[in-house]
Structure 1
Amino acid sequence: MDWWMNMSVYSDQLLTIVVPCYNEQEVLPETVKRLGEILKKLVDEGKIAAQSKLLFVDDGSRDETWGLIKKFEKDFEYVTGIKFSRNFGHQNALLAGMTIAVKYSQMIITIDADLQDDINAIYEMVDKYYEGNEVVYGVRNSRKTDTFFKRQTAMAFYNMMGKLGVSLVPNSADYRLLSQRAVESLLDFKERNLF
């Protein structure tokens, strides 16, 4: 976990992809592989520092998620992780990951471990960051992979929030890029509901 302690100052922009995990042993190997390929391509293109990381936050999993994270930490220098003693919830896992990543990363991306969002959008997110955007949402074009119940409750949620005067980006989930400054500002707020 102390990957940032041995770092010097780099002129490149360091990216950390924060991945909250809860009982993800089935998807984790593919997630590490696919996100690792994206990191490598971005490094090869000179868009991010070679020290960029995948930071997995194990939210008290009861399966072999943590064991896999530890294995991948040994196998790949771009993988690191932290483990909660019990399940504190998805939002707290995101906040913990961002709290660590913001100390040394100029860009932080949050994404769910199941990779239901289009991970290839990461390339465009990084480009948008370089255009000066501090927050870039990954918005689903379609919710076809979601169950009927999930689609209906999501629609009800966005309708209710709209009636309450809260403006949200529909279908954005937890897939976003934030600049270091944006995360620092977010962490200053006492309200911790990231939606």
Structure 2
Amino acid sequence: MNEETLLSIVVPCYNEEAVLPETIKVLTKILESLVNEEIISSQSFILFVDDGSADKTWQLIRTQSEADSAIHGLKLSRNFGHQNALIAGIETVSDHADCVITIDADLQDDVRAIRTFVNKFYEGYDVVYGVRKGRDQDTFFKKYTALAFYKLIAKMGVNLVQNHADFRLLSRRAVREFMRYQEENLFIRGIIPLLGFRSAKVYYDRQKRYAGESKYPLKKMIQFAVDGITSFSIAPIKLVMSIGFLLVLVGGGIAVYAFLNWLMDHTISGWTSLILSIWIIGGMQLIAIGVIGEYIGKIFTETKKRPRYTIEINTMYDENNDKEPLSHERPYPENIR
């Protein structure tokens, strides 16, 4: 253990006013406990990232930030999405923290696992994954679609930690290596295993949302899955090409069958087979164009090199905030690395 180790907890928030007071209370209690036991530095802090919330999320963060030196806030200028909010928080604390823990604000992840995360960090692990033990809290549809997604993406060669979301610990060097990945469509759950550092898993029971509504409806979950697949694999394009070849073979077989019927004078005039062929092939063409368009769209986005997020307010460096800003750089504890 090293009481000089500075821990930062990054919490992305989007319209979380219903749950945020309890989240702040619970996380502050955990942080204070670790500090009092001299497990982490007294300068350790929590950074709440407001991802363009339309409710009172930022007011709550700002008020708590002014009242407690262990709480900071980062306000993005608009909603950039959960993954970009995570990146914004991680990059903001990267020069201050010896290790960073990311956790959602809904209190579904077991905050008691944070202590185990830190212990694993002291054992020499640069990445610690929070992995849920099961999906008993999920609906039937969400449970089996999630499992299907993990199986599908694994077959495509993407190395994901099953049943792991964004509850994890990263050491400083893991954070710095992660920050070298500059693509616009950054699928964090797929990138972290690519870092290659020593990792561990901590299993926990996922709870029901404390309050508020889920920020991942079906539409967002589908888009998230599509982004994950297309960010790491060209398998969908290969699949479409394979189906195209198969349709050509089927078309050739139908042509031979029609020719034989013509030789035997068994031709029957009609439009059913023609219409079916038009709809099937036309549908496949549209699917193929859509899949290719998804990749071209990603290329278009990447070439523009636009920033992933824009920070409107950062209480760590806000001149109107009475708190002293954290030091820009701290030496890494020698007995840890």
TM-score by length of 1: 0.92
Map 1:137-152 to 2 at 5 A.
137-152=129-144
Supply the distance in 2 between the matched residues of 1:147 and 1:24 (Cα, whole angstroms): 22
Structure 2: give runs of 5+ residues left out of the alignment: 190-337
Supply the distance in 1 between the matched residues of 2:136 and 2:158 (Cα, whole angstroms): 25
Matched, 1:169 2:157: no
Matched, 1:130 2:125: no
Map 1:81-100 to 2 at 5 A.
81-100=73-92
Identity of aligned residues (%): 54
Larger radius of gyration: 2
Structure 1 SS opposite 2:166: coil
1:159 corresponds to which of 127, 151, 155? 151
2:3 and 2:39 in contact (8 A); partners too: no
Structure 2 SS opposite 1:55: strand
2:100 and 2:171 in contact (8 A); partners too: yes
Supply the distance in 2 between the matched residues of 1:66 and 1:149 (Cα, whole angstroms): 34
For each residue in 1:29-88, what CA deviation from the matched residue of structure 2 results, as whole angstroms up to 9, or x when unmatched?
000000001000100111111111110000011111001000111221111111111110
**1:11 offset after TM fit, Å?**
6.9
Matched, 1:55 2:47: yes
For each residue in 1:145-181, what CA deviation from the matched residue of structure 2 results, as whole angstroms up to 9, or x when unmatched?
2333332332122011111011211111000000010
1:79 corresponds to which of 71, 77, 88? 71
TM-score by length of 2: 0.54
Q: Number of residue pairs matched?
A: 186
C-alpha RMSD of the superposition = 1.4
Supply the distance in 1 between the matched residues of 2:140 and 2:20 (Cα, whole angstroms): 26
Supply the distance in 1 between the matched residues of 2:43 and 2:127 (Cα, whole angstroms): 22
The amino acid across from 1:162 in the alignment is A
Structure 1: give runs of 5+ residues left out of the alignment: 1-9
Aligned to 1:194: 188
Supply the distance in 2 between the matched residues of 1:184 and 1:65 (Cα, whole angstroms): 29
2:49 and 2:74 in contact (8 A); partners too: yes
Aligned to 1:7: none
Structure 2 SS opposite 1:30: helix
Supply the distance in 2 between the matched residues of 1:29 and 1:63 (Cα, whole angstroms): 14
Structure 1 SS opposite 2:66: helix
The amino acid across from 2:188 in the alignment is L
Moved >6 Å (runs of 4+): none
Structure 1 SS opposite 2:165: coil
Supply the distance in 2 between the matched residues of 1:148 and 1:70 (Cα, whole angstroms): 39
Supply the distance in 2 between the matched residues of 1:123 and 1:137 (Cα, whole angstroms): 13
Aligned to 1:182: 174
Supply the distance in 1 between the matched residues of 2:63 and 2:107 (Cα, whole angstroms): 20
Matched, 1:104 2:70: no
Worse overlay, 139-148 or 184-193:
139-148
**1:143 offset after TM fit, Å?**
2.0
**1:119 offset after TM fit, Å?**
0.8
2:3 and 2:42 in contact (8 A); partners too: no
2:3 and 2:38 in contact (8 A); partners too: no
Task: Give the structure with the larger helix fraction.
Answer: 2
Structure 2 SS opposite 1:165: coil
Supply the distance in 1 between the matched residues of 2:103 and 2:62 (Cα, whole angstroms): 20
Aligned to 1:4: none
For each residue in 1:112-151, what CA deviation from the matched residue of structure 2 results, as whole angstroms up to 9, or x when unmatched?
0001011101000000000000000000112222333332
Matched, 1:33 2:19: no
